[in-house]
Structure 1
Amino acid sequence: MAVALTSVWNVKSDEDAIYEQDILRDGSGSIKPWLSYIDLKLQHGNSHEQAFVLERACSQLPRSYKLWKMYLDLRAKHVAKLNPAIYCKEYSKVNSLFERALILLNKMPRIWEMYLSFLQQQPLVTHTRRTFDRALRALPLTQHNRIWALYRPFANAASGDTAIKIWRRYMQVHPEDAEDFVELLIEMGRYTEAVEQYMGILNNPRFRSKEGKSHFQLWSEMVELLVTHAPNIETGDGVGVDVERIIRSGIERFADQRGVLWAELGTYWLTKRKPEKARDIFEEGITTVATVRDFTIIFDTYVESEEYSIGNLMDAAAARSGKDVLDEDADFDLDIRMMRFEQLMDRRPFLVNDVLLRQNPNNVTEWEKRVSLWGDNMREVVQTYTDAIAAIQPKKAIGKFHELWANYAKFYEKGGDMRNARIIMEKAVRVPFKSVAELAEMWCEWAEMELRNENFDKAVEIMAKATQAPKRSTVDYFDDTLNPQQRLHKSWKLWSFYVDLVESVSTLEETKKVYERIFELRIATPQTVVNYANLLEENNYFEESFKVFERGLDLFNYPVAFELWNLYLTKAVDRKIGIERLRDLFEQAVEGCPPKFAKVLYLMYGNLEEERGLARHAMRIYERATRAVSDEDRFEMFNFYITKSASNFGLTSTRPIYERAIAALPDNEAKDMCLKFAEMERRLGEIDRARAIYGHASQFCDPRTSPGFWSKWESFEVQHGNEDTFKEMLRIKRSVQAQYNTDVHFIASQAIARSQQQLSESRNGDSREGEGDERADAMAALERQARAPQGFVPASTGPEGGNTSREDKAIPTNPDAIDVDMMDDD
């Protein structure tokens, strides 16, 4: 111990004696004396002394992680500012120190991180890579992430095969970072391997993009890589990437992106400098896609490629012409490409039509467009019609399928080939169309074709065949479980055409048979009844015409029956049949007639009695009408009744009518009726009766909403009344106003009106600010006028007369008495 202490003291200064003695006294198992000693040197010693003490500490305690870390930090920091290429020996010493530390501390990830970070500062790529590999082998799997965090940047910096091999190892542990690997491969120009990585990503259903990219986005990136770098991607049988197979699988997988993918595949072959192969791809694309959007994408790309190719050939031809050099093969190639391009542009309408028909082969309109595209090409037109009829399913047809058949037959008809036209029509009427209406249209088209060719008998024969039916048919026209052929005989459209045809080209008897058959099948419409009746009337079968109307009235109820009665009664009256028979008809018409249709019938009935019957009967009919018509027509009917009664029996005969009208009509109409009644009594000189009517009507008239009524009563009193009657009128007016002031509904309506008025005034307050004083003055004047009417002159002359002044009037002692100012203060 003395010898050792002496040797130490030979090296150290006296100030370190205390720490050295503590180390010797403590032995070799404690780290505390060493840490105190190291702390002293770190504060007051130089780098050599610090390194010497740390070296001794690590030698004595080789398994101390803390001492080694302090030592390694010191040595690494010491050489950090030195150039690793020039001072490679110094760096090598530190590397050896790290290796010594890792002999016993190889499970410490922090030591490995320090060592690896230190190695990355030196130009030792291979040694650094191998050290990374040693670290991964030495540490447990749970600690590998700390190493890979340094290893990946090192790999990216190293580049080349080293980087790729490192990343391949990394991908085995962390496949979720495949996108970063792909970016590295693309940067390094390893496109084939980048595509293979994309394929691995897309085939892995568990892969989730760190950048949030969808499956299709990754697919699009891969396709873009394939197309952009097509010459640099290895392809072949069993070697590299089968680009066409990949893109075709995407076409099947992503139905909404087929146009884009077909265009990308064609562009790929253009990039590979194989234009013929690209042209085949484009042709396949535009003839297989099912949407116009996809077609447009492919076609535009196709056209651009052709234009680019033609442009290059034209530039080459121009260069040759400038040098007077002839190249017949190149010129021939240019002509071929120009011709092919023109054909492509001419085919575009047909190709678009093909797309729409592939999308829905049951689209009748598109088939018609295809026929029109062929123009005068008869062979193609016939082939198109044939294809359309074979492709369209009648129950699923979109559009008018029967028109396609009709146009097909008209095509042969225009060519003068009636035989084939009839064959087509015969086939068409056996087609199970969606509806009976279409089948009926088909039969009518056939008959019209025969009429255009003046085969009238043939047309009638065709329609007779179409309308064949059992004597008593129980078939329901709307029964969709039966095919249209079974329900055809119930089609009104078919029978209507048939009866018009027979009426035009056949006899009256034949026409009558058709009409009778329509009635037997119970498919007659109001128009059928009218047409049949008019036909019989034109041929002077008046009674039979009336019977047709009666049969129609048995078939139809109101409101249809009203129109039939209107026509029937008009014709019967014009025919001047017996009055008793006419009365029976009118009684039948008004019996059970809804109120809204009764007015016209009663007026016709009353007019008949006035012209051919008795006025007393007419008045009785008009009186019935006032009870039978609807509320909307009752006021007008009473007015008409009053007018007729006055003209026939004098004004006095209208009194009971007025009284019943006032009792039956609603308040607003009763008010008007009262005014007319009062005016009539005034003209008759019955002033008291007129005044009583005004008093009765006052209960319907609020002074604020019906000022016209009160002004008329006031003028009436001015002309025919006296002071007492005028006062009574004012008393009634105030009473009615007070009554309306307590009416709940009236108060609510007035409150709403006032709120709306206030809102309107607030919006227009600025513009009406100057009118406020004028409005107040006007309201005050109206109030004064209501209290004291001006210019009143009583009709009678009493002791008071009409000239009593305000000063001569005594103040009434009764507070409820009415004070009427007879003269204006002015």
Structure 2
Amino acid sequence: MWWRYLEARRDAPARRRYILYERALKALPVSYKLWHAYLQERQKAVRGLAITDPAVASLNNTYERALVSMHKMPRIWLEYLDFVVDQGLLTRTRRTFDRALCALPITQHDRIWQLYLKFLMRPGTPPETAVRVYKRYLRLEPTHAEEYIAYLKAQGLWGEAARKMAELVNDDTFRSLEGKSKHQLWLELCDIITKHPKDVIGLKVDAVLRSGIRKFTDEVGRLWTSLADYYIRQGMYESARDVYEEGLTTVTTVRDFSLIFDTLTQFEETLLQHKIEHGGADEDEPEQANGTDHDDGEDFLLKDDENDIDLRLARLEHLMERRPELLSSVMLRQNPHNVHEWHKRVKLFAGNANKQILTYTEAVTTVDVHKAIGKVYTLWTGFARFYERHGDLENARVIFDKATQVEFKYVDDLATVWCEWAEMELRHKNFKRALDILRRATYTPDSINRRATAEAEREGPVQGRLYRSLKLWAMYCDLEESLGTLESTRAVYDRILDLRIATPQIVLNYALFLQENKYWEESFRVYERGVSLFKYPHVRDIWLAYLQQFVQRYGGTKLERARDLFKQALSQAPPEESRPLFTQYAKLEEDYGLARSAMEVYDRAVRTVPQADRLAIYDLYLARAHEFFGLGKVREIYETAIEAEAPDGLSDEDCKKLCLRYAALERKLGEIDRARSILVHASTMADPRRDVLFWKQWNDFEVAHGNEDTFREMLRIKRSVAASFSQIHYNTTIVEAATTATTTGEEGGKRKREGDDMEALEAQVTGTNLPGFVSAGVVQPDQRAAQAGTAADDASAAPGAGAAAVSNPEDIELDEGAVEEEEAADAMENIQLETKPVPEAVYGGGGEQLGALDRFKKRKTEG
């Protein structure tokens, strides 16, 4: 009702409406709606008035009266606080904010604090008041500490900012709302401390920064330089140098080292330059003594009263000279087990024997053999060589003796130490001592359990497995051969064989050593032990040497024993390793045995060796057969090789080569039909697209020895073979290149080619001068044309010829080249050859050496 009453009197004067609001509020003092409307109307009325106006004071009193009953309403408080803040009354505003925080529940405080913090940021607000208020706010919202620190930096309150920052970096539960890491917070703290050291009072700067250095070990260069910068701004230059030195000797990364070293160098150069410019007088130090800008702008007094330019210059030079050593220390702090870095450090002290000895001593005591990067034994051997170079063999022997007691990771490392020790004694002509060292190294301890497994033996120290080191035994053998007796050397070799650690080379060396001393049978026994120890492919060299030496020694006197050895070797050898054994065995039979036995060896070889090696064996086989048994045996071998099938036969390529050789042999013997039969057999393996050489040779053969029928038969066979290979695809580029290279090589550089091979054949068949018929007269061109025309007319006049060609669906369609060949062959049938009698002397009294045309004539006459 009151609200409707007020709405009805909306146009009444303001004073009368205020009286109505007062009457309504007196009746309804807890009506938020009436109070809010009343205060809003009163606030609009005073807008723009001075704060000294009575209406402003009256409105303040009205707000106070409203808050008596409306103290739980945050909206009323916020409007009142906005009104008070605009009045600029600091004390009253602060107290009003405090009253609001006390009156409202904690869940509503965040709305008040937003306005409260905005009030603190207004110009004219005393920093002391703001600091106290912020501290209260951080009790409610501790995560907003960065806002507080930012405010302190803006107000120049560096001491309070440093203290608060120190609390944050030491609080492990703090999480930055701005996403800053702990390391970034530490760096901000360092900047505050170092740039404003006099404002940071009561804070243990050294302890704070050192705690950060201990926490952030991966990037501490900035913290060390900040701590040194703090001392520099305090004028404590010696303390700053101590901090720099401590940083250089503790950092573990090259980046941090470079940062500290460069800053220290710039600091020393700046001090030296300032001292030179002022002639050593007691002047103010520059503001950038350490290479960083000083924000406070104050000067620091130089404490030295004397002219110490030479001292400062020497200090700077010494610092630059120490840089490699300091950097080496950094690398070793990263990984003290890096053997390569220790060697580099020793080289840094070249010319300083004491430091090199100390470095080696530190290295061998620091490096753990199980964590080392590199060969640990090189440190011990390098240490011993150092004493050797300085002529102190006694200390070198002490180092080697200590090195042999180290439990290295691998047996080979310990064996290398013993070998180095022995080589040192050899360099100084102490041969007896070197032999004693190797005897000690190869001594088999009595505590070694002979039946212990390899795994159990590997679990023990390397000293217990040293007696099986082949490196030591090999060196021991060399020394015994050079310095010892025959018996001592044989004892060493026999011990190696007994331990079953010998290699094929050791066996060969032992046998050769015995042969040099004329102990032939003992050397053959060594070979026997060697072949029993190893298998293929390792035993191959032993067998070859054994058989060669046995044959050279006894020749044919112990032929049966030699044969047994060869049979034993061949029974163990795989096929791919048997070729040299077969050749040696056959050579033995040729020189000292029976030719028939040699042929049996070759026959077994061609059936045993891999297919790729059979052609070479056949070459030897044929050569020896021709030498011992003549052409009959040769023909038998050729036929056997050609007819053999997989897996005992030759490959197609090798078989074609052998067929060509066989055909050439028969051609020389005048057996033309046999040669042609061989070529026919080989043609099934010769693709005309690839094996151009084969077909060219057959073509040359027919031109020289054939006739019309044989030539046509060759062409028919060629077409048939080409059809059988038609489903096989080749890389035509490679085939053409190979064909061109083959043709070029045979013709001796002749480059001219007149069409393909088929066209050349047609030209030879249809041409006026057939190369294969030199002794025969040929009809004139007009007669050939007439005969060819008559044959063509007869062919065209044949009844139903064209219809049959068209109507028969099973006819094979020949390409143009094949048709032309058929026509050329038909034309050849009508050619009448003129013959001449052949002198009787040509035949040599027999009929087996007839030429091609004479045989042709003979067959025509007889049939």
Bucket of the pairwise TM-score, normalised by the shorter protein: 0.7 to 0.9
TM-score, length basis structure 2: 0.78
Q: Secondary structure at the match of 1:700?
A: coil
The answer to whether the aligner puts 1:130 opposite 2:95 as a matched pair is yes
Cα displacement string for residues 765-818 of structure 1 (whole angstroms, at most 9, x for unaligned residues): xxxxxxxxxxxxxxxx87994996654559699999987637723266576487
* Counterpart-to-counterpart distance in 2, 1:807 and 1:93: 147
Number of residue pairs matched? 747
Distance 1:787 1:175, change over 3 A: farther
In the alignment, what sits opposite 1:694?
679
AA at the equivalent of 2:433: K
Q: CA deviation at 1:180?
A: 0.9
Q: Aligned ranges for residues 101-116 of structure 1 at < 5 Å?
A: 101-116=66-81
Distance 1:159 1:798, change over 3 A: farther
Q: CA deviation at 1:234?
A: 1.2
* Counterpart-to-counterpart distance in 2, 1:106 and 1:807: 139
The answer to whether the aligner puts 1:603 opposite 2:590 as a matched pair is no
Match of 1:209 among 161, 176, 182: 176
* Counterpart-to-counterpart distance in 2, 1:782 and 1:447: 76
Q: Aligned ranges for residues 257-406 of structure 1 at < 5 Å?
A: 257-317=219-279, 330-406=305-381
Distance 1:74 1:589, change over 3 A: same
Distance 1:754 1:93, change over 3 A: farther
* Counterpart-to-counterpart distance in 2, 1:657 and 1:200: 103
The answer to whether the aligner puts 1:626 opposite 2:606 as a matched pair is yes
Cα displacement string for residues 303-341 of structure 1 (whole angstroms, at most 9, x for unaligned residues): 2322233233223227789xxxxx995444433333333
AA at the equivalent of 2:484: S
* Counterpart-to-counterpart distance in 2, 1:727 and 1:641: 36
* Counterpart-to-counterpart distance in 1, 2:555 and 2:628: 26
Q: Aligned ranges for residues 447-486 of structure 1 at < 5 Å?
A: 447-469=422-444, 474=450, 479-486=457-464
Distance 1:544 1:756, change over 3 A: closer
Q: CA deviation at 1:669?
A: 3.5
Match of 2:500 among 489, 497, 522: 522
Segments of 5+ residues of structure 1 without an aligned counterpart are 1-28, 236-240, 322-326, 758-780
AA at the equivalent of 1:108: M
AA at the equivalent of 1:659: E
Which structure is higher in helix share? 1
TM-score, length basis structure 1: 0.81
In the alignment, what sits opposite 2:824?
822
Q: Aligned ranges for residues 777-788 of structure 1 at < 5 Å?
A: 785=759
AA at the equivalent of 2:198: P
AA at the equivalent of 1:667: D
* Counterpart-to-counterpart distance in 2, 1:692 and 1:58: 141
**Alignment RMSD:** 3.7
AA at the equivalent of 1:53: R
In the alignment, what sits opposite 1:243?
205
AA at the equivalent of 1:618: A
Contact 1:806–1:823 (8 Å) recurs in 2: no
Q: Secondary structure at the match of 1:480?
A: helix
Contact 2:579–2:605 (8 Å) recurs in 1: yes
* Counterpart-to-counterpart distance in 2, 1:173 and 1:328: 50
The answer to whether the aligner puts 1:570 opposite 2:537 as a matched pair is no
Cα displacement string for residues 359-415 of structure 1 (whole angstroms, at most 9, x for unaligned residues): 444444444344333334444443333333333444544433333333333343344
Contact 1:719–1:795 (8 Å) recurs in 2: yes
Match of 1:654 among 634, 642, 645: 634
Contact 2:280–2:307 (8 Å) recurs in 1: no
In the alignment, what sits opposite 1:491?
469
AA at the equivalent of 1:660: T
Q: Aligned ranges for residues 86-125 of structure 1 at < 5 Å?
A: 88-125=53-90
In the alignment, what sits opposite 1:592?
572
Single out whichever of 337-346 and 155-164 deviates more from structure 2.
337-346
Q: Aligned ranges for residues 687-726 of structure 1 at < 5 Å?
A: 687-726=672-711
Q: CA deviation at 1:470?
A: 6.4
Contact 1:723–1:794 (8 Å) recurs in 2: no
Segments of 5+ residues of structure 2 without an aligned counterpart are 284-301, 736-754, 828-863
Match of 2:217 among 248, 255, 270: 255
Distance 1:395 1:603, change over 3 A: same
Q: Secondary structure at the match of 2:361?
A: helix
Distance 1:163 1:618, change over 3 A: same
Single out whichever of 267-276 and 650-659 deviates more from structure 2.
650-659
* Counterpart-to-counterpart distance in 2, 1:314 and 1:299: 22
Single out whichever of 360-369 and 152-161 deviates more from structure 2.
360-369
* Counterpart-to-counterpart distance in 1, 2:758 and 2:612: 40
Q: Secondary structure at the match of 2:572?
A: coil
* Counterpart-to-counterpart distance in 1, 2:193 and 2:127: 22
Distance 1:79 1:653, change over 3 A: farther
Contact 1:682–1:690 (8 Å) recurs in 2: yes
AA at the equivalent of 1:32: R
Match of 2:24 among 22, 47, 60: 60
Distance 1:706 1:417, change over 3 A: closer
Q: Secondary structure at the match of 1:571?
A: helix
AA at the equivalent of 1:262: W
AA at the equivalent of 1:60: A
Single out whichever of 328-337 and 275-284 deviates more from structure 2.
328-337
The answer to whether the aligner puts 1:179 opposite 2:139 as a matched pair is no
Contact 2:540–2:577 (8 Å) recurs in 1: yes
* Counterpart-to-counterpart distance in 2, 1:674 and 1:282: 91
Match of 1:681 among 649, 662, 666: 666
Structure 1 vs Structure 2: percent identity of aligned residues?
44
Cα displacement string for residues 25-61 of structure 1 (whole angstroms, at most 9, x for unaligned residues): xxxx3312422442xx3xxx8xxx3564355345434
* Counterpart-to-counterpart distance in 1, 2:137 and 2:339: 61
AA at the equivalent of 1:496: A
In the alignment, what sits opposite 2:791?
808
AA at the equivalent of 1:192: G
The answer to whether the aligner puts 1:669 opposite 2:634 as a matched pair is no
* Counterpart-to-counterpart distance in 1, 2:217 and 2:108: 46
Distance 1:698 1:415, change over 3 A: closer
Q: CA deviation at 1:727?
A: 4.2
Q: CA deviation at 1:525?
A: 1.9
Single out whichever of 220-229 and 646-655 deviates more from structure 2.
646-655
Cα displacement string for residues 688-716 of structure 1 (whole angstroms, at most 9, x for unaligned residues): 33333333334334444444444444444
